[in-house]
Structure 1
């Protein structure tokens, strides 16, 4: 049986679960969200990504009902939720601090929201047990929050948020307090839980790796506007602007002027240097300023002159050894710094390139992306 790819945003018959329509939010003179339109679909794991102050948390607080838009509407399953108070929305929010009750056990923390509804004792018990199983916390049920680890507290907060079966779960920097290794494990747990429950997750993060790992789609934001909304692979391989290319992952960006023939472009970028050759579906006017963005892993570094569409000569200034990868910082004759990355498949002693070596950097004409702005 072939697995169908989850891409409801490409299906014209799919109705979005959440719709922001022309939403603007002002605080006095400051515009936090600027005429924003966005569709989020059922069962999506949607990430809002951007630097501090870009508006992502404001967006989430409007979904939760803690803020109201200055203008525009927010629909959940076709209903305008702006007039609906937070406790009446089919939405739950998990805070950065987890906000667990220190005097209650793990079991009682999870049961807390259910007890305020009109569920029977048995229904509450069944639901709590189900949540404990889902988050693998059954053996910690009687412990208090201070008796368990940060990662486990994070799972308690998640179990409590999911207990009332919200249509939508909002996660505000949920893994911010965890160390790197635990963060990674927890990201996969989150994805697993999201898949099992079928709840729509919207996560706010400034950690690009996190967004790329967990999300079905990522919205890159800046100054209250959406810059690009796409799947992680499209954001990484086909960014639409220099801002997105630069925000996600490591990248070399070279500015120059374009001369185009069909889908082939030559970029004049430095005196005495060969033009860079690229391929693009976009159209550039003769002499138009353009930016060539190329990821370091797509740049090959050699001591011998290669045979390639693009060849640049330079000198190794720095080497960042990251265990599985090494990133070489190479200075070109005009002072431009370029990064090239190699996988460390061999032991350190067997590698042939070191500081101050003269090297060649090469890449194909399809390895980079041409951007207008």
Structure 2
């Protein structure tokens, strides 16, 4: 049986779990969130991604009830939550610091919220056991937080947040305190737990790799506005703006002026005396309109000789080489002084480098390799 793709945002009949409607949040004269409208659906793993100060944590704090919108409305499951105090919302929040009780065991940390809700003992025991199993902490139930590792503490905080079965779990930079290897492993654990529980997760992060790994959709933010909301694949392959293209991953941005040369094909005049670059684009451009070609380094091939029968071939000189183990990135200066990065995979264990510093090389790419963007 074919697996159905999870994409409720493409279904007009689907009702969002969370709805931001024209939400503005001001702190004095500073606008933290600027007339923002956004839908998040049930069972989504949604990432708010952006640099420090872009408003992502403010959005999360408004969802949790720690801040109120200055204007607009936030709905949870069709209900305006403005008047609902934080402790009465079907929302839980996991903080970057985990905020575990140092004097309580792992078991008691997870049970804390359930005890406050006066759950019957048998129910409470069953629920904590379920959470310990989900987060693979059964062996550590009697230990105190200082007796377990950072990754395990992170899982305790997660288990405690999920114990009361919230409709929505907010995660504020949850993996920030973990080292790179553990962070990677924990990302997959988070995805697994989210899928098993069916809880809607909203994660705030400035780590693009994290957002691209865990999320069903990513909202890229800047200065209180959402620049683009899409699946990680679309954000990377079809960015809406130079800002989004530049924010996610490595990219070459070549500026020029567009001229239509056929059906959804444009010549980009980018440097005087140079052959125009050819780009395919469904987005229309007027003749002479300023444009930017966003081109990922892995889509740029590098050659010793001028390649034939290729639309885009540019000669340049290697300025720098970054060897990253699995990849090598060549920084190539092309006419006019712009540096274009080209990436090659190091597929053989020991291979003599084909190109070195100061070599003259040719770069090439197909018309569909880049994304043509307006100013």
Q: Taking structure 2 as the reference length, what is the TM-score of the superposition? A: 0.99
Distance in 1 between residues matched to 2:4 and 2:283, nearest whole Å: 31
Contact 2:114 2:124 in 1 (8 A): yes
Which of 326, 329, 343 is 1:327 aligned to?
Answer: 329
Distance in 2 between residues matched to 1:47 and 1:306, nearest whole Å: 42
Alignment match, 1:161: 161
Alignment match, 2:304: 303
Q: Cα deviation per residue 1:292-321 (whole Å; 9 max; x = unaligned)?
A: 000000000111211211001111111111
Question: Offset at 1:118?
Answer: 2.5
Question: Offset at 1:348?
Answer: 4.2
Alignment match, 2:194: 194
Alignment match, 1:28: 28
- Stretch deviating more after TM superposition (90-99 or 318-327): 318-327
Alignment match, 1:257: 257
Question: Offset at 1:353?
Answer: 1.1
Alignment match, 2:87: 87
Please identify runs of 4+ aligned residues in structure 1 that moved more than 4 A. none
Distance in 2 between residues matched to 1:349 and 1:45, nearest whole Å: 41
- Work out whether 1:47 is the aligned partner of 2:47: yes
Alignment match, 1:123: 123
Distance in 2 between residues matched to 1:282 and 1:157, nearest whole Å: 46
Alignment match, 2:339: 337
Aligned length: 373
Distance in 1 between residues matched to 2:80 and 2:339, nearest whole Å: 51
Instruction: Give secondary structure in 1 for the equivalent of 2:285.
Output: coil
Distance in 1 between residues matched to 2:78 and 2:247, nearest whole Å: 33
Distance in 2 between residues matched to 1:151 and 1:351, nearest whole Å: 39
Instruction: Give secondary structure in 1 for the equivalent of 2:57.
Output: helix
Contact 2:104 2:144 in 1 (8 A): yes
Question: Offset at 1:198?
Answer: 0.1
- Work out whether 1:58 is the aligned partner of 2:58: yes
Q: Taking structure 1 as the reference length, what is the TM-score of the superposition? A: 0.99
The 5-angstrom pairing of residues 179-218 of structure 1 reads: 179-218=179-218
Distance in 2 between residues matched to 1:291 and 1:99, nearest whole Å: 46
Alignment match, 1:8: 8
Distance in 1 between residues matched to 2:337 and 2:133, nearest whole Å: 58
Alignment match, 2:106: 106
The 5-angstrom pairing of residues 347-358 of structure 1 reads: 347-358=349-360
- Work out whether 1:369 is the aligned partner of 2:356: no
Alignment match, 2:242: 242
Q: Cα deviation per residue 1:113-162 (whole Å; 9 max; x = unaligned)?
A: 10000210111111001000000000011111111111000000000000
RMSD: 0.7
Contact 2:254 2:293 in 1 (8 A): yes
Q: Cα deviation per residue 1:42-76 (whole Å; 9 max; x = unaligned)?
A: 00000000000000000000000000000111000
Listed as ranges, the gaps of 5+ residues in structure 2 are none
Alignment match, 1:292: 293
Distance in 1 between residues matched to 2:303 and 2:211, nearest whole Å: 33
Distance in 2 between residues matched to 1:349 and 1:3, nearest whole Å: 41
Question: Offset at 1:333?
Answer: 2.5
- Work out whether 1:174 is the aligned partner of 2:174: yes
Q: Cα deviation per residue 1:8-43 (whole Å; 9 max; x = unaligned)?
A: 000011100000001000000000001100000000
Contact 2:271 2:335 in 1 (8 A): no
